[in-house]
Structure 1
């Protein structure tokens, strides 16, 4: 389910105030969001321990995502001629639903966000009229998300926020790339069915007692009572190591119990008629594997072009399974790009970064794109620059940067 209608509009007076103050808010947005999270976590430390991604908080990624999302949304509201941010809201809504976010949490965000705005800009700047205008922006966005999330819960057949299931690990497979394939089965109420390309949130109680949540794409075909997701350990490099993913890789065993949500995610399901192009980098391969498994089970004659980029063949996650699935589909082809340039012995391999200038894509193809934000932005730019319509390019991001595609 995606957003199908434009959000409510600002009245003229509020739009004028927001338009006039948007540059000031934008200039101080990092300070505002830092103050917001500091205030909210001081008042509600359980949110940092049990809901928010502590790694993203440490890097500032979540702060930047919130700030940019609100600013992007406000920009659309003050200029109704711009396309409404339906895709942005849809991606956020699905991720919120996968975390079990409920309507009663939005007033908490509102309270501390507006206190942060006053703290940073001062009460002389944030007059009652300015506060009222931005209050309206916030609640237009919040109400749209609350309605979407309520509809997603209803579609999944669960009460609002009741998305977690206790699940037992029935299989663990360690891929040569270091990625871990985990298969779980609910110990109680079965998981709802899912669409290819969707994901689940997995909850792990960490060493300090905090319950951290991470989202992982499903790589098995729908229609079974078991869910299989792929976890790639994240070493400490430019930021903190992957807290949950590394714990899973180091500790998870068959028979262990996990908290796993029912599936969400707004990638459209392939219809089996239009040709597909599946483009990925690194662990962004996982939703593409799920789509290939779905095609192999239901629509094996679909024309599908698979393009993947990685640092090397050794780091290429699920490389063997990807090749097996492509070989099993009579109208599928595979091209890969390896940064290290070592392509000998790998059919369809190219050295360096992915370059689509020499790749012929079907005019009517539905294109799926997943990877880190830099890769998705770069490849999406190549696609749109070649004349492909934006509505045919369906993106998934694994970092809190959904606003980049808004």
Structure 2
């Protein structure tokens, strides 16, 4: 990019920041009016809640603020590209998005502010970012093609196992009977789900909850309740629990995602809340399979005994692995036995983290957003370096 483009984009950051959500809301209005078929690609529940608009606004601002030092955005680019790959986003989608984004900027800011010069600079900047993402995604698509798997393909539900009062595992086997490509623990699957009761095709991502093998993939899905009164429950998760049974077929994309264990022999701390257990369990199972004997601390928080998923499996690992320290916290200890079901009443806290976790450990955490923010804050209070913190946000990426 030329220096004048960089200068103009950085100068407009305060204006974009002040109107970020208005711009992204207008963008999605333009996008879906022009391309209604894209409602089958985007998560319309996140559109209704405003999460997708907020996430896009943050991404735009992050890019603009760092446009003169794009190396700082490396991890974010990898995360966005991984998500695009699992949604099967193609190079031809980028001009559609860019055109409507520029229209939205001009509409919200007005032609006096969003002059031809400003729009031209943002067009160049967007094109540069698109080229970067297309290049990263091209590598992901080529790697998938090497395994003979392009886009979505049919998988059969081989088993359906209830793990708790709200989490059910689905064991998925390829309908074509071909061996499955390996995945990295922490990655996820995209499902393309259709139903006569759905207004659109729905795409959802679910973390793989077991180590990699050639025979099946396992996802473990929480049946999402309505987040508050007068709002709908989780459309796809409830459909999977109620309507998808053994023998049914689902369309599945090759695994993707960038929430991966670093290549290091440092101690590990795995911290999960609720269904956030799934990617971390995949990591723990993989480490166990490989005979990794480094110190591992497992911290898990859940509401009560009924919601505690994978309890028996983790108790077995705790008994078998001398290098594993397992601690489980319940909000409600009714009908639960300390030492068998749980270890602490209440929430994971800084004292617990300080007492149990090695200072030089790599920390991986996942769970509901309030849980994630609390854990992140506690780890920062303990002066854990940012480079040691790794996390996965379910849904549109949000800042902690």
Q: TM-score, normalised by structure 2?
A: 0.91
Query: How far does the alpha carbon of each residue in 1:140-165 deviate from its partner, in whole angstroms, 9 at most, with x for none?
Result: 32222111111122233359993312
Q: Does 1:175 align with 2:163?
A: yes
Report what 1:388 is aligned to: 384
Report what 2:343 is aligned to: 349
Q: Does 1:363 align with 2:359?
A: yes
Report what 1:198 is aligned to: 187
Query: How far does the alpha carbon of each residue in 1:361-394 deviate from its partner, in whole angstroms, 9 at most, with x for none?
Result: 2233222111123322321232233222222221
Query: Pick from 73, 89, 111: which aligns with 1:101?
Result: 89
Query: How far does the alpha carbon of each residue in 1:342-366 deviate from its partner, in whole angstroms, 9 at most, with x for none?
Result: 5952325222222133333223322
Query: Pick from 141, 147, 158: which aligns with 1:153?
Result: 141
Within 5 Å, give how 1:81-160 maps onto structure 2.
84-157=72-145
Report what 2:283 is aligned to: 291
Gaps of 5+ in 1: 1-9
SS in 2 for 1:258: strand
SS in 2 for 1:333: strand
Gaps of 5+ in 2: none
Report what 2:312 is aligned to: 320
Partners of 1:315 and 1:29 in 2: CA distance: 38
After TM superposition, give the deviation of residue 271 of structure 1 in Å. Answer: 4.9
Partners of 2:171 and 2:293 in 1: CA distance: 28
Partners of 1:24 and 1:161 in 2: CA distance: 44
Of stretches 140-149 and 56-65 in structure 1, the one that deviates more from structure 2 is 140-149
Report what 1:252 is aligned to: 244
Partners of 1:43 and 1:158 in 2: CA distance: 35
The count of aligned residue pairs is: 392
Report what 2:62 is aligned to: 72
Q: Any runs of at least 4 consecutive aligned residues in structure 1 with deviations exceeding 4 A, and if so which?
A: 158-161, 341-344
After TM superposition, give the deviation of residue 166 of structure 1 in Å. Answer: 0.6
8 Å CA contact 2:158, 2:246 repeated in 1? yes
Report what 1:5 is aligned to: none
SS in 2 for 1:210: coil
Query: Pick from 7, 21, 31: which aligns with 1:16?
Result: 7
Partners of 1:159 and 1:140 in 2: CA distance: 30
Partners of 2:237 and 2:332 in 1: CA distance: 25
Query: Pick from 287, 296, 319: which aligns with 1:304?
Result: 296
Of stretches 60-69 and 378-387 in structure 1, the one that deviates more from structure 2 is 378-387
Query: How far does the alpha carbon of each residue in 1:123-155 deviate from its partner, in whole angstroms, 9 at most, with x for none?
Result: 222111111222233223222211111112223
After TM superposition, give the deviation of residue 246 of structure 1 in Å. Answer: 0.6
Partners of 2:335 and 2:326 in 1: CA distance: 14
Report what 1:33 is aligned to: 24
Q: TM-score, normalised by structure 1?
A: 0.90
Partners of 1:34 and 1:161 in 2: CA distance: 35
8 Å CA contact 1:221, 1:294 repeated in 2? yes
Report what 1:53 is aligned to: 43
8 Å CA contact 1:373, 1:399 repeated in 2? no
